[in-house]
Amino acid sequence: MHGTLAREYKVLCVPPKETWRIWPRVEAFLRGGQKAGGEYFDKVSTLIDLRTGHLLLWIAYQDQKILAAALTRLIKGDDLVCQLVTIGGSGMRRWVHLRSEIESYARDEGCSRMRLYGRAGWKRVLADYQQTGIILEKRL
């Protein structure tokens, strides 16, 4: 995607106190993103974390149409990491390049890394990210 068409797609970090207004338009995207990754989606906890700013809601949109939604959180350890918690939407090729704006936010916040737990398919999409480990799980 290049030229003026690519510039029509935008990303916005929704202010925490405004997430309730956008929620009905993004819930299915977020639920789908977590389900595809094999994770449990807890609506109540997610809404609380969004309202308090522990999670941030990002939307990719064109005109008035929301194409995708993502959740991020900052994690403090030895360094500060911005974790992309979940992402979901339609027409990924139209908006995946917008992740650079989330990465800029993370740098501005003092993060040294972005972190994503996700399906193996993200490795192909995010070619500039390195695989540094795997997550293993056993159902009991």
pLDDT at 123: 66
DSSP class of 107 = H
Would you say domain 3-125 falls under CATH 2.70.150.10? no
pLDDT tens digits for 75-116? 998 999 998 888 888 888 888 888 889 999 999 999 998 988
Task: Give how far Cα 55 sits from Cα of 3, 13, 52, 62, 121, Å.
Answer: 33, 11, 8, 23, 24
110 closest CA partner among 76, 138, 134, 87: 76
Residue carrying the six token digits 């900052």? 74
Residue 72: per-residue pLDDT: 94
pLDDT in tens, 45-84: 999 999 999 999 999 999 889 999 999 999 998 999 998 8
Amino acid at 103: E
**CA gap 95, 91 in Å, rounded:** 7
- Label residue 40 by pLDDT band (50, 70, 90): low
Mean pLDDT of the 119-124 span: 66
- 124 backbone dihedrals φ, ψ, rounded to 5°: -75, -40
